[in-house]
Amino acid sequence: MIFASTPISGAFVIRLEKREDDRGFFARVWCKREFAENGIDVDMVQANISYNRSAGTLRGMHFSRQPSREGKLVSCGRGKIFDVIVDLRPESPTFLRHFGVQLDETSREAVYIPPGVAHGFQTLEADSDVFYMMSDFYKPDLADGVRYDDPAFGIEWPLPVSVIAERDRLYPDFDRETHTARHALHQVA
């Protein structure tokens, strides 16, 4: 695996080192030791798949509040997506910055998203599958999000949104002071 840093502190695009022959290819997509050698010391405890019927489907922007330590390793096994992360960690040097990358079934690249960083994606093709490995168990009471089109982040999505959950569409405008205070409260706890 090749770890390419992103403009978001602690987030990486992971490129496969494929071993190809006339059967196809073989590549490692997860190795605890290789991740630790790149400063990512996590245990993956859960895996999920998101199937998306229509191009233009938008899911996100989701994150888990502390004390969750939910990091994600996200890849696209079928189809094509535009994957976006937003740094919501007030102590981070890249606080409030975002980064987007295309993930698809051809490159099979993945993105590692550290805890406290929001994640979302938009499908660029119909019938796209997105695979997640998670470093913490899902805790509904800590699940949160920010709006995909919030002016605080200025994310430019490649397609008009064709399908979106009401929850994702209705998150309130991001308030930096409220978010920072809520984050600090959980840091002490």
Domains of the chain: 43-188 (2.60.120.10)
* Strand stretches in 53-186, DSSP E: 57-64, 72-78, 80-87, 98-104, 110-113, 117-123, 128-134, 143-145, 163-164
Question: For residue 176, what is the DSSP state?
Answer: H
Per-residue pLDDT averaged across 139-165, rounded? 97
What's residue 25's pLDDT?
92
Judged against a pLDDT cut of 80, whether residue 185 lies above it is answered with: no
Q: Which residues are catalytic?
A: 62, 132
pTM for the structure as a whole: 0.94
pLDDT in tens, 53-86: 999 999 999 999 999 999 999 999 999 999 999 9
Cβ contact 34:154 at 8 Å: no
Residue 184 has pLDDT above 90, yes or no: no
Give me the pLDDT at residue 189, please. 47
Chain mean pLDDT for the chain: 95
